[in-house]
Amino acid sequence: MRRAVYPGTFDPITNGHLDILRHVVGLFDEIIVGVLHNPAKHPLFTVDERVEFAREATQGYANVSVASFSGLLVDFCRARDASYIVRGVRNPADLQVEMQMAQMNESLYPEVHTLFVPASPALSFVSSSLVKDIASHGGSVRAFVSDVVNDALVRRIGQNGANAEG
Kindly list the residues in this chain that would bind ligand PNS in the complex (CB under 6 A). Answer: 7-9, 36, 72-73, 101, 104-105
Minimum gap (Å) between residue 7 Cβ and ligand PNS: 4
Please state, in angstroms and rounded to a whole number, the distance separating the CA atoms of residues 162 and 29: 43
Nearer to ligand PNS, 83 or 138 (CB): 83
SS3 for 14?
coil
Q: Known catalytic residue: 107?
A: no
Nearer to ligand PNS, 103 or 160 (CB): 103
Point out the catalytic residue in the list 128, 132, 136, 146.
Answer: 128
Q: Known catalytic residue: 136?
A: no
Beta bridge partners of 28: none
Cα dihedral across residues 129, 73, 89, 84: positive or negative? negative
Nearer to ligand PNS, 79 or 104 (CB): 104
Cis preceding linkage at 110, omega within 30: no
Which of the 8 DSSP states describes residue 70?
-
Q: Known catalytic residue: 41?
A: yes
Residues at the binding site are: 9-10, 17, 41, 73, 87-90, 98, 123-129
Q: Known catalytic residue: 90?
A: yes
The number of angstroms, rounded, from the C-alpha of 63 to the middle of its chain's C-alpha atoms is 17
Q: Give catalytic residues, as residue numbers.
A: 17, 41, 90, 128
